[in-house]
Amino acid sequence: MTELMVNSTIHSMLDSVTNTSTGLMIDLMADCLQGLRVVDLTRNLPGPFATRLLADLGAEIIKIEPKNGDPARAFGELFKALNHGKTTESHDFRDPQGIAAIKAHLKDADVMLDSFRPGVLKGMGLDAKTLHAINPKLVMVSITGYGLASSDSKTEINHDWADKAGHDINFMAMSGVLDQLKTASGEQAMPNVQFADLAGGSDTAVIALLAAVFTAQRTGKGRHVAVSMTHSLYQHMVMPKATGTLVKSFSGQQPEPQHDFLGGLLPCYRLYKTSDARYMAIGSLELKFWQGLCEALALPELKNSHWQLGVMPNTSESQAVAKTVSDKFASQTLEHWQQVFALVDVCVTPVLSLSEAKAHPLFAHQDAYDATSGWQQVQ
């Protein structure tokens, strides 16, 4: 293990294990990927967040930026949150000496992550054929917007989108996910969370990467995997694909997103506005939770008005129930309902702002970068 690797591992463990502002222990999994060496050529959000997750699990990350730097540096705190604890170098990607420096790192690396368009790696001399001649076990993961076409892929996928530019909003739009984000009145909503970049790109890349590394360790053979943010998002739409068919079976037509089974159609699973123009999130999907909700709202007459008892969401009875519950929530403030449901466990929560979530006890163990791991080791 090199001195560079030891230092990176120590920093990663310190970042993951101790909250620098409170001293709280927040993660004991920073040893899981110790020894995994990742060369990160990515920029902006998807790739750096993927290697942030790997670093938090103990991997050594060597981040290589172009001479003009990662564009995410312009966002200050975002860059720090994504890239702290990584070893950073700067090289000219168009200069043979810069490419030679990258290849020197790749000679004994486990993974190379990039976010270039298809064909760019070959032009740089960093294609799979070249790199596997240097390091047969190397796993290469390319995060792309729209995936590969059949000429670049081992599967029969035919489209002309592989070389198109795009950002999160475009990948969400083309996958059908963006259309699912509608207001109750049917207006298009603009998300402020980068679902394509993070779920479709970062998380999917980490899964594919670790699976490929696992195989490479057993077989001695690496591979080049292309992750498509658009296709990954489309795969994530397993629920609306199914529920849309379900609603159509009893309504006779394909529902708009805001009228889908879990999109606001059910009285027991939707948002309700409070008297101070805030919202409560009601997830009382199962009968037992719905009946507990009705008790807490002092509406016992509604306890049997539930889809599991045959009251389907397109009926006038269901619509009347939703109106009654809506009027009830509208009669009091968010604070009032928080107090009521703090004592009743029926899947009802307030809709918190980011600042409110940050101050909530759920996130009291967040680190100096306002981050909490999505995993915890059970003692």
Q: Per residue in 70-117, pLDDT tens? A: 999 999 999 999 999 999 999 999 999 999 999 999 999 999 999 999
Looking at the domain that runs over 267-346, which CATH code has it been given?
A: 3.30.1540.10
How far apart CA 49 and CA 284 sit, in angstroms, is 33
Does 18 score more than 50 pLDDT? no
Q: Percent of the chain beyond pLDDT 90? A: 79
How sure is the predictor about 314, in pLDDT bands with cuts at 50, 70 and 90? Answer: confident
Q: Residue 162: pLDDT above 80?
A: yes
Convert 313-358 into a string of H (helix), E (strand) and C (coil): CCCHHHHHHHHHHHHHHCCCCHHHHHHHHCCCCCCEEECCCHHHHH
**pLDDT over 70 at 5, yes or no:** no
* pLDDT of res. 152: 62
Of residues 90 and 16, the one with the higher pLDDT is 90
Reading the block at residue 199, the tokens are: 């779920």
Rounded to whole angstroms, the Cα distance separating 376 from 4 reads 27
Cα(74)–Cα(66) distance, rounded to whole angstroms?
A: 14
Residues 128, 134: Cα–Cα separation, whole Å:
10
Mean pLDDT over 304-320 rounds to 91
**Per-chain mean pLDDT for the chain:** 91
User: Taking residues 338-353, what's their average pLDDT?
Assistant: 97
Q: DSSP H helical segments within 66-221, as ranges?
A: 77-83, 96-106, 120-124, 128-134, 168-175, 177-180, 195, 204-219
For residues 174-179, average pLDDT: 97
Q: For residues 26-40, give the mean pLDDT.
A: 88
Which residue intervals of the chain bear CATH 3.40.50.10540?
3-235
Q: What share of the chain is helix, strand, coil (3-state, %, to 5)?
A: 45, 10, 40
Strand partners, 350: 280
Q: Which fold has domain 3-235?
A: Rossmann fold (3.40.50)
Token pair for 177: 């996910």
Report which secondary-structure segment, H or E, holds 60. strand 60-65
* 229, 201 Cβ separation under 8 angstroms: yes
Domain with CATH 3.30.1540.10 in the chain: 267-346
Sorting pLDDT into bands at 50, 70 and 90, what band is 67? very high
Question: 250: pLDDT confidence band, cut at 50, 70 and 90?
Answer: confident
Q: Which of 59-63, 137-141, 375-379 has the lowest mean pLDDT?
A: 375-379
Q: What is the DSSP string of 227-259?
A: EEHHHHHHHHTHHHHHHHHHHHHHHSSPPPGGG
The confidence score (pLDDT) of residue 17 equals 45
**What integer pLDDT is reported at residue 153 of this predicted model?**
61
Run of H or E residues at 283? strand 279-283
CA atoms of 310 and 307, how far apart (whole Å)? 5
Residues 216/132, Cβ–Cβ less than 8 Å: no
d(CA 290, CA 347): 9
Provide φ and ψ at 112, rounded to 5°.
Answer: -125, 130
Q: What is the pTM of this model?
A: 0.88
Q: What is the pLDDT of residue 14?
A: 42
